[in-house]
Amino acid sequence: MESTVFLIDMQSFYASIEKALQPRFQDRPLVVSGDPERRSGVILAACPLAKSYGIKNAITLREAEERCPGLVVVRPRMALYLQASLRITEILGRFSDLVEPYSIDEQFISIRGCEALFGPPREIARKIQQTIALQLGLHARVGIGPNKVLSKMACDNFAKKSEHGLFELTQDNLKTHLWPLPVEKMFGVGKRMGRHLRRMGITTIGDLARCPLVRLQKRWGVNGHVLWMTANGIDLSPVHPHTFQKQKAIGHQMTLPRDYRTEEEIRVVLLELCEEVCRRTRQQRQVGLTISVGCRGADFDFPTGFHRQYTMPEATNHTMTVFHYAWALFTRFWDGQPIRSLGISLGNLADDQPMQLSLFENDDKKHRLGYVMDKINQRFGPTAILRAASLTRAGQALERAQKIGGHYR
């Protein structure tokens, strides 16, 4: 029996939740936006009515208000949106036990073997839409395909533009519907990759599908093979509920509330980021071997910055050890110009047991100390124990403790 996979996508997720909870805004253009007084004053979500004024995600709030003077602006409530996402997962779980969250507003579901209970695929899709609309007041778009990649492209390119929010993409209609689209419309192809492909004379998804595989492999190796498979609608990855439980890296990036210009200021934020990344690494009972550090300059007109990594002598999740290597990496590649964002990550993850002992340092004590601090913060709140540097003007730990995903709860 051939598999059938849905990609369930929520229309204007954040904005739709706010409208569902505040009926007085139903007929008004509404956007969810970060704090305009800080650097987070950009549009995170816009309802369909707001989009009719030309408002798109990621534009500034000021620009959105210029396009639509009567715009309703709501600040994000991330805890509420996460709760709604979990509710959607629970609803999908009534139809199949194979549900894989892809993002906060997108989820894959395999309905193979469920037809006897709920009917053919399109009927199941409509039932899912009706259930979500009835219980949450949200409109779901459903891309249908024999695998994840086709269901994703069916949703992004067709279901979102369909009146009923449904579209099925199969090997039978692949050439007539998907192949004529610009190559940038294919899943996995961004602006930069699109430019590379166009220089090779590949302008549509069909061109990419018909391109000799050897040519793509010679240029991009395994990634070239994946591009060719995607264009031809081939995807062997199963829908798995625990896909994201095995991370390749754990990282955290922060857009700063103002330009950070001095080493003293940047050290504070970098230490806080190391603390956060190591806490999350310890939470998964893992250690990391490779540290990555990146930053972006403050000048939008002349972008600067870097992203570099270093393999440490031993895998660790100890904050100060990670900070030692992260700071060395930062000072080596920083050009001395003001920065507006900073991020680090730990890669090459492995289980934290067994641990390599040292003859010269008490690594076991440092190892246990991190876990004790985590338990205290877990019990009494994320700011129960803070490093003194976080109490300075440059510190952001207290501010971040009030947020989820960079936005207020």
pLDDT at 35: 65
**CA-to-CA distance for 22 and 47, rounded, in angstroms?**
13
Q: Which residues is 251 bridged to in the sheet? A: 345
pTM of structure? 0.74
Q: What do you get for the CA distance between the two ends of the chain, in Å? A: 44
pLDDT at 248: 77
The architecture in CATH of the region 13-77 reads 3-Layer(aba) Sandwich (3.40)
Q: Which CATH superfamily is domain 247-408 in?
A: DNA polymerase, Y-family, little finger domain (3.30.1490.100)
Q: What is the DSSP letter of 406?
A: T
> Binding site annotation covers 105?
yes
pLDDT at 373: 81
Q: What is the CA radius of gyration of the chain?
A: 24
Amino acid (one-letter) located at 351: D
**Active site residues per annotation:** 106
Q: Where are the domains of the chain?
A: 13-77, 175-231, 247-408
Q: Which residues is 133 bridged to in the sheet? A: none
- 175-231: CATH topology is DNA polymerase; domain 1 (1.10.150)
Q: How far is CA 98 from CA 76, 106, 111, 139, 195, in A?
A: 30, 14, 8, 22, 37
Amino acid (one-letter) located at 401: A
**Sheet order of strands, 43-46 included:** 43-46, 30-33, 72-74
Structure-token pair, residue 341: 């964002």
Query: Can you give the chain as a three-state secondary structure string?
Result: CCCCEEEEEECCHHHHHHHHHCHHHCCCCEEEECCCCCCCCEEEEECHHHHCCCCCCCCEHHHHHHHCCCCEEECCCHHHHHHHHHHHHHHHCCCCCCEEEEECCEEEEECCCCHHHHCCHHHHHHHHHHHHHHHHCCCEEEEEECCHHHHHHHHHHCHHHCCCCEEECCCCCHHHHHCCCEHHHCCCCCHHHHHHHHHCCCCEHHHHHHCCHHHHHHHHCHHHHHHHHHHCCCCCCCCCCCHHHCCCEEEEEEEEEEEECCHHHHHHHHHHHHHHHHHHHHHCCEEEEEEEEEEEECCCCCCCEEEEEEEEEEEECCHHHHHHHHHHHHHHHCCCCCEEEEEEEEECCEECCCCCCCCCCCHHHHHHHHHHHHHHHHHHCCCCCCCHHHHCCCCCHHHHCCEECCEEC
pLDDT values of the chain reduced to their tens digit, one per residue, 409 residues: 568 999 999 999 999 999 999 999 999 999 998 765 554 578 999 999 999 999 998 888 888 999 998 899 998 888 899 999 999 999 999 999 999 999 999 999 999 889 889 999 999 999 999 999 999 999 999 999 999 999 999 999 999 999 899 999 999 999 999 999 999 999 999 888 999 999 999 999 999 999 999 999 999 999 999 999 999 999 999 998 876 555 678 998 888 888 899 999 999 999 999 999 999 999 888 999 999 999 998 876 677 889 999 999 989 999 999 999 999 999 999 999 999 889 999 998 888 876 555 555 656 677 777 788 888 888 887 777 778 777 887 777 776 666 655 555 5
